[in-house]
Amino acid sequence: MEKRDILVIFGPTASGKSKLATQIASKHKSAIINFDSLQVYKDLKILTDRPDDEICKKFDHRLYGMLKGNESCSAAIWLEKAEHEINNCFDNKLLPIVVGGTGLYLKALMDGLSEIPSIKKI
C-alpha cells in the first residue's frame, strides 16, 4: 500500500477513542475505520464498547460488526479489508480515521506483515 497520511487514534477499551473520532469526523469529510480485534464481531457490541447504531448512522463507520461470532479474523484478513477501506477513503477524498486498540493490527497497517514461508510436504 502506498504510504499516505491517516489519522490513528489508539488506546484501551472505553478510553474515549470513539468519541474523539466522531468529534473529528464532525469537522472533516471522513470515515472511521475500526482496528479493534473484537469490534469486528457483531455480537460483542456491549463488551467492546462499540459505537451505538445512532452514531454509526450519523458518521461513516467501517469494519465494525462485520463478522459473526463463529467467523475468524486474523491480522492478515483485517489488514486486507482495512487497506481496501483506506484506499476507498483516499479515492473519495475522505480522511481515514483509524480507531482501536489492537496493537498487532496497527503494526500490520504501519509495517505490513511478514510473509509466511510455505511448508514442504514430507
Where are the chain's structural domains? 7-111
Q: What is the pTM of this model?
A: 0.86
Q: Which of 52, 35, 39 is nearest to 98 (CA)?
A: 35
The predicted structure's pLDDT at residue 53 = 82
When the pLDDT of each residue in the chain is averaged and rounded to a whole number, the result is 90
Residue 25, C-beta contacts closer than 8 angstroms, at least 6 positions apart: 31, 32, 59, 60, 97
The predicted structure's pLDDT at residue 119 = 80
- Distances in whole angstroms, Cα of residue 36 to Cα of each of 17, 66, 76: 11, 12, 14
The predicted structure's pLDDT at residue 48 = 61
For 76-117, what is each residue's pLDDT tens digit? Answer: 999 999 999 999 999 999 999 999 999 999 999 999 998 877
In words, the CATH class of domain 7-111 is alpha beta
Percent helix / strand / coil, the chain, rounded to 5: 35, 15, 50
The predicted structure's pLDDT at residue 93 = 96
Cell of 29: 469529510
For 26-72, what is each residue's pLDDT tens digit? Answer: 999 999 999 999 889 887 766 566 788 888 889 999 999 889 989 99
Phi and psi at 38, nearest 5°, equal -95, -30
